[in-house]
Amino acid sequence: MDTAQARRRLEELRSELNGSIATMLRQNEGGNDELSTYDQHPGETNLADTDREVALVEHQNGQLEQVTAALARLDDGAYGVCLRCGRTIPDARLEARPEAAYDIECQAIMEAQG
């Protein structure tokens, strides 16, 4: 993948993630510790909603960290090289996941290891 195109896509993704995270956190303004703006009545539904919102923000923060790391790899000239095995990450994978740090095979191994 062309590095200029990769940088543009990563910066767009970073901007989208920052906006989404900011929106979720703004919904939490008001002083309570829960992300949901729904009436807080005892019950599993509200807890499940809050759990989902917290998980979503955590996932987005994790993806933002991956995007930031990918931008650093672009700056270092290491973008597109698998961090585990050193092979070139295929363009098709980088087009689908521009923040990818591993090729498909190594990604599967990393996920299996937890």
> Residue 18 belongs to a domain with what CATH number?
1.20.120.910
pTM: 0.79
- Is the per-residue pLDDT at 43 higher than 90? no
pLDDT range class, residue 31, cuts 50, 70, 90: very low
At residue 47, does pLDDT exceed 90? no
Question: For residues 50, 56, 58 and 64, what is the CA-based torsion angle, rounded to 10 degrees?
Answer: -150
SS (H, E, C) the chain: CCHHHHHHHHHHHHHHHHHHHHHHHHHCCCCCCCCCCCCCCCCHHHHHHHHHHHHHHHHHHHHHHHHHHHHHHHHHCCCCECCCCCCECCHHHHHHCCCCCCCHHHHHHHHHHC
Residue 55 has pLDDT above 60, yes or no: yes
Residue 17: domain span? 3-113
Tally of structural domains, the chain: 1
